[in-house]
C-alpha cells in the first residue's frame, strides 16, 4: 500500500513542470521546501508571485522588463539603426553578457515550427516590420537548429526586398545549440563573424 499526502504531491507535480526538473529532483526540492524555515519558504513564494505580477514584456522589443519599455530600448547610447532578432528574452541576456552588441533587440517569442503549430502569425514578426524606420541592419541571431535556420531564412526573404542589410550570426555557435548556454567568447566571435544572409 502506498501513502501520499495530497499537498506534497501537488507541490512535487508543480515543481516537475519546470524545465529540466524530473520527478526525483522535484521530490527532493519539495522536501527541501518543507524543511525550510517558514520565513524562507514565504520569501520564495513571494518572489515567484511578485515576479509574475511585476515582470512583463517590453512594448517595443518584447524583452522582459518591470516597466512598459525596457532599459535597453530606453538607452540613448544604443545604436537604433541595428536590430538583433532573437528567439526569446533569455537570448538577450546571453548577448548582453558578451558586451559586444550595442544595438537594439527584437524578441520573436519563438521560432517557426509547423509541427508544433507555430507559424509566422504566432511570432512577433509584424511588430518587427513596424520597427524598421531608420534601421540599416537586421542581425538574425536565432539558434542554429532546424527551427532557427528556417526562421532566419523566412525573415531574410521577407526583409530582402526592403533594402535593409540582413546578416546572420556566424556558426561559432554549435549546430543544435542554444544561445542561452553559449559561452561569451563564442558569442562574441559569432557576432563579429556575422555575414550577409544570402551567403548563408
Which pLDDT score, from 0 to 100, does residue 113 have? 92
Which cell is 140 given?
538574425
Q: What are phi and psi of 81, to 5 degrees?
A: -85, -5
Q: Return the DSSP state at 130.
A: T
Residues 161-177, buried b or exposed e (16+ Cβ, 10 A)? eeeeebbbbbebbeeeb
Cell numbers 542561452: residue: 180
Q: Is the dihedral of CA 14, 64, 60, 87 positive or negative?
A: negative
Residue % of the chain over a pLDDT of 70: 88
Confidence of residue 143 (pLDDT cuts 50, 70, 90): confident
Alpha-carbon distance 94 to 187, whole Å?
8
- Domain residue ranges of the chain, discontinuous segments joined by +: 6-54, 64-199
**What DSSP element (H or E) covers 56?**
strand 56-57
- CATH code for 6-54? 1.10.8.420
**CATH among 3.30.2320.80, 1.10.10.60, 3.40.1360.10, 3.40.190.10 for 64-199:** 3.40.1360.10
Domains 6-54 and 64-199 in one fold: no
Alpha-carbon distance 113 to 142, whole Å?
13
185 has pLDDT over 70? no
Which pLDDT score, from 0 to 100, does residue 145 have? 83
Q: Return the DSSP state at 140.
A: E
| 94-130: pLDDT as tens digits | 899 888 899 999 999 999 998 888 999 999 999 999 9
* 8 A C-beta contact, residue 161 and residue 189: no
Amino acid at each position: 500500500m502506498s501513502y501520499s499526502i495530497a499537498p506534497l504531491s501537488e507541490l512535487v507535480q508543480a515543481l516537475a513542470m519546470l524545465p529540466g526538473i524530473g520527478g526525483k529532483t522535484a521530490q527532493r526540492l519539495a522536501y527541501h521546501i518543507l524543511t525550510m524555515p517558514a520565513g524562507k519558504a514565504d520569501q520564495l513564494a513571494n518572489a515567484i508571485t511578485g515576479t509574475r505580477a511585476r515582470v512583463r514584456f517590453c512594448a517595443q522589443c518584447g524583452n522582459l522588463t518591470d516597466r512598459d519599455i525596457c532599459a535597453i530600448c530606453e538607452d540613448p547610447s544604443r545604436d537604433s539603426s541595428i536590430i538583433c532578432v532573437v528567439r526569446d528574452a533569455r537570448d538577450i541576456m546571453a548577448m548582453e553578457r558578451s558586451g559586444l552588441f550595442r544595438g537594439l533587440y527584437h524578441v520573436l517569442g519563438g521560432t517557426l515550427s509547423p509541427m508544433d503549430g507555430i507559424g509566422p502569425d504566432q511570432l512577433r514578426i509584424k511588430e518587427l516590420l513596424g520597427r524598421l524606420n531608420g534601421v540599416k541592419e537586421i542581425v538574425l541571431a536565432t539558434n542554429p537548429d532546424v527551427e532557427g535556420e528556417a526562421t532566419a531564412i523566412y525573415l531574410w526573404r521577407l526583409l530582402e526586398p526592403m533594402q535593409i542589410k540582413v546578416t546572420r550570426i556566424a556558426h561559432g555557435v554549435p549546430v543544435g545549440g542554444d544561445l542561452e548556454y553559449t559561452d561569451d567568447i563564442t558569442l562574441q566571435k559569432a557576432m563579429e563573424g556575422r555575414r550577409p544572409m544570402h551567403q548563408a
